[in-house]
Structure 1
Amino acid sequence: MAKLIGEEPPVKRRRMTFNILMLPDDLLLNCLARISRLHYPTISLVSKRFRSILTSSELYQTRTLLGRTESCLYVGLSVHHDSKPLRWFTLCRRPNSSRKVLVPVSSPHQSLPEFWPAIALVGTNVYVIGGLRNKIASSSVMVMDCHSHTWSEAPSMLVPRQSPFVCVLDGKIYVVGSQKDKTTWMEVFDTKTGNWEFVPGPSEEICKRATRYRCIGYGGKVYVTAEKGDTYELNRGRWRRGPLFIDRAGFSSSFCVIDNVLYRRNSCMIDWYDSEENLWETVKGLKGLVPFYSGYIHAKAANHGGKMVILWEEKVYVNKLPHETKIWCAEITIERRQKEMWGTPDWFEVVLSTKNERFDQLSYVFSATL
């Protein structure tokens, strides 16, 4: 049978594959740096050599120099009654497919708390702060490097906190909760110097009357709201009563900031905060297009490279018993049209489905630039 024009003989194709594997490390690193990180979990299966290069700091330095950095999504799922109750995943592309899937990253460090830590992302480092360890409040801080998915210890907090709440502003992590004393109510960690210091609370009365808080870094200020309480803003080391935008958002909402606009995933809609009018408006154009509008409780929002991602869980029951857990993900482009915000779903699909183990809660979602 005549050979098709342009078809290469099988031997030549094998030689090309062989030559790629024989490239020196510096050239192979340069090639891998140009590939989307969505493919890295699959590529890492080729060999130990590939895995070593994919987790090297040199690879990410090269990606930066080449302008190939991209946003990478991370998800933390809680699994109670387990020796490692917090499982970490990252979003990647399925082999030979355009569909996406959550794949597990390195096993959590043995020193991680069992329950209720706070999570903060600064640069390419994930900080796991406080929580309960052996039923005792912890002051420990563990750090995961998103490049290599390796864990290390950071300086501990000044006091233990069993269920802290955090926000990040200008490379500093603000931690509040589990302390009633005004002098220890809040502390801040400077990730550049590695130092902790206390931030005195607004007043003794405010510090004592709540156990849960919402903490948000937005517009160059830190905002803290006690559950069913007032909002206070910290500006240049001083507290004052702030706008009520956190209160009005509802305490169960998930917040994120995109292009200096504050958004929330609240109930069965997405809202944006109009800071000039001090009120919330609904993002238009999404109703009926994304299934999270059916009102899933555990849904999280995050800024993913300038777009919004929403993750939510769906529980499937058979004979009133848990049968399957599905994690959905949607990516949404939001644009301003005069005085309104409009959203367009880019894609949404199930990115994780499991029957063998029950995830109790979708706990954390964040996006790092790598």
Structure 2
Amino acid sequence: MTFLIDGIPDAVALRCLARVPYYLHPTLALVSPSWRDAVHSTELYKARNEVKSTEDFLCICAFDPENMWQLYDPNQDKWLTLPVLPSRVRNLAHFGVVSTNGKLFVLGGGSDAVDPLTGDQDGSFATNEVWAYDPIVRRWARRASMIVPRAMFACCVLDGKIVVAGGFTTCRKSISKAEIYNPEKDVWVSIHDLHHTHNSACTGLVIDGKMHVVHKGLTTVQVLDNVKQGWTVHEHSWVQGPMTVVKGSLYVMSHGLIYKQEDEMFKGVISAFEFKKRIGFAMMGFGDDIYVIGGVIGPERWNCDIKKMSDVDVLTLGSERPVWRQAAAMTRCRGTILGCVQLSI
């Protein structure tokens, strides 16, 4: 019989391996076949939870290169590259992305690759496909498809389940349909529709345990507190711009400043003037910080190329005076950010 570590029960040895940082797991897998099997087992993920050694990573997908995701490890200030998402859709974009149950989920969306002859989005504006990446076995797998194909929709996690709402099925048809997914049962179920749709993309935010569906340019916010009771409509005079949630508080970047939104009041936190020239970036709450990632800068002259950014700027909010710093730039991804989410492993 082969033991993970001679003289130590495997259950204890597994808890020892669970304390090793995730970025070293490929090295652990080279030690022996039994260590390789342990590193790629769901038991290791459970053990990491038990010994409280889970780590938080930032997952990023950008327009360039196609269908590629990277993980940022803040403890090591390093980027890890995942296997390419094996979707048949070229340049998958306008999808929903969340993490739950230790996995990264990519939902719906359509192609951002335009046929130069017809101008069509590669024949696919919206899909209902769902992919899950398991960081333990390091593989993508198809999961149950959504009931309705959609792109540019709101997507959040509530109590471990994924809720999707709104969006578009074609470039001209917005929808009010909403549904919820149980990752353990791999099943989608329809829930109450949104009260209204709007001819613009929507996004989802979780604030105080409630899902908020926000449409660009609208003050109306639709809120889901209880799945069985459905959505309620609220009027919020929130500042318009890229939004993220940090420690339960809403932050917005607008007109060269980052604001903290508190109910109907807002206050300036710090200047973000340097980002006014950048578009297509991600603004993401991560721990106590706000990360501003990637994007593009337009040409200053007509004969200049668009600059695809891989920079990562971090605003630390925990101190009395928030300060900016730079983290390691993305090593593979660059340009417009298509998806950004936190993943615990």
TM-score when normalising by structure 1: 0.71
Question: 1:343 maps to what in 2?
Answer: 322
Match of 1:118 among 81, 96, 100: 96
Q: CA deviation at 1:159?
A: 1.7
Q: Does 171-180 or 24-33 show the bigger shift?
A: 24-33
Q: CA deviation at 1:33?
A: 2.0
Distance in 2, Cα, partners of 1:36 & 1:109: 27
Distance in 1, Cα, partners of 2:143 & 2:191: 17
Match of 1:127 among 105, 114, 124: 105
Q: CA deviation at 1:51?
A: 4.9
In structure 2, relative to structure 1, the CA distance for the partners of 1:69 and 1:226 (3 Å cut) is closer
Q: Does 37-46 or 166-175 show the bigger shift?
A: 37-46
Distance in 1, Cα, partners of 2:139 & 2:334: 23
User: What SS does the corresponding residue of 1:326 show, helix, strand or coil?
Assistant: coil
Distance in 2, Cα, partners of 1:266 & 1:106: 35
Distance in 1, Cα, partners of 2:330 & 2:299: 17
In structure 2, give the amino acid aligned to 1:116: H
Q: Does 55-64 or 265-274 show the bigger shift?
A: 265-274
Distance in 2, Cα, partners of 1:45 & 1:361: 36
TM-score when normalising by structure 2: 0.75
Match of 2:130 among 120, 126, 141: 141
CA-atom RMSD, angstroms? 3.7
User: What SS does the corresponding residue of 1:63 show, helix, strand or coil?
Assistant: helix
User: What SS does the corresponding residue of 2:213 show, helix, strand or coil?
Assistant: strand
Match of 1:174 among 161, 164, 178: 164
Do structure 1's residue 57 and structure 2's residue 47 form an aligned pair? no
Match of 1:100 among 59, 71, 77: 77
Q: Is the CA contact 1:122–1:168 (under 8 Å) kept in the aligned structure 2?
A: yes
Distance in 2, Cα, partners of 1:199 & 1:91: 36
Question: 2:341 maps to what in 1?
Answer: 366
Runs of 5+ consecutive residues of structure 2 not aligned to the other structure: 112-121
Distance in 2, Cα, partners of 1:50 & 1:331: 39
User: What SS does the corresponding residue of 2:330 show, helix, strand or coil?
Assistant: strand
Q: Superposition pairs for residues 162-241 of structure 1, below 5 Å? A: 162-172=151-161, 173-178=163-168, 184-193=176-185, 194-202=187-195, 206-207=196-197, 209-234=198-223, 235-236=225-226, 237-241=229-233
Q: CA deviation at 1:89?
A: 0.6
Q: Is the CA contact 2:203–2:215 (under 8 Å) kept in the aligned structure 1?
A: yes
Runs of 5+ consecutive residues of structure 1 not aligned to the other structure: 1-19
Distance in 2, Cα, partners of 1:46 & 1:321: 47
Q: CA deviation at 1:121?
A: 1.9
Distance in 2, Cα, partners of 1:35 & 1:119: 27
Q: Superposition pairs for residues 20-59 of structure 1, below 5 Å? A: 26=10, 29-40=14-25, 51-59=36-44
Distance in 1, Cα, partners of 2:236 & 2:315: 29
In structure 2, relative to structure 1, the CA distance for the partners of 1:312 and 1:42 (3 Å cut) is farther
Aligned pairs, number: 319
Do structure 1's residue 261 and structure 2's residue 259 form an aligned pair? no
In structure 2, give the amino acid aligned to 1:177: G
Q: Which has the higher helix share?
A: 1
Q: Is the CA contact 2:191–2:230 (under 8 Å) kept in the aligned structure 1?
A: no
Q: Is the CA contact 2:219–2:237 (under 8 Å) kept in the aligned structure 1?
A: no
In structure 2, relative to structure 1, the CA distance for the partners of 1:181 and 1:298 (3 Å cut) is closer
Q: Does 168-177 or 324-333 show the bigger shift?
A: 324-333
Distance in 1, Cα, partners of 2:144 & 2:38: 29
Q: CA deviation at 1:87?
A: 0.8
User: What SS does the corresponding residue of 1:59 show, helix, strand or coil?
Assistant: helix
Q: Is the CA contact 1:304–1:367 (under 8 Å) kept in the aligned structure 2?
A: yes
Q: CA deviation at 1:160?
A: 1.4
Please tell me whether Structure 1 or Structure 2 has the larger radius of gyration of its CA atoms: 1
Q: Is the CA contact 2:299–2:306 (under 8 Å) kept in the aligned structure 1?
A: yes
Q: Is the CA contact 2:205–2:211 (under 8 Å) kept in the aligned structure 1?
A: yes
Distance in 1, Cα, partners of 2:284 & 2:29: 27
Question: 2:53 maps to what in 1?
Answer: 68
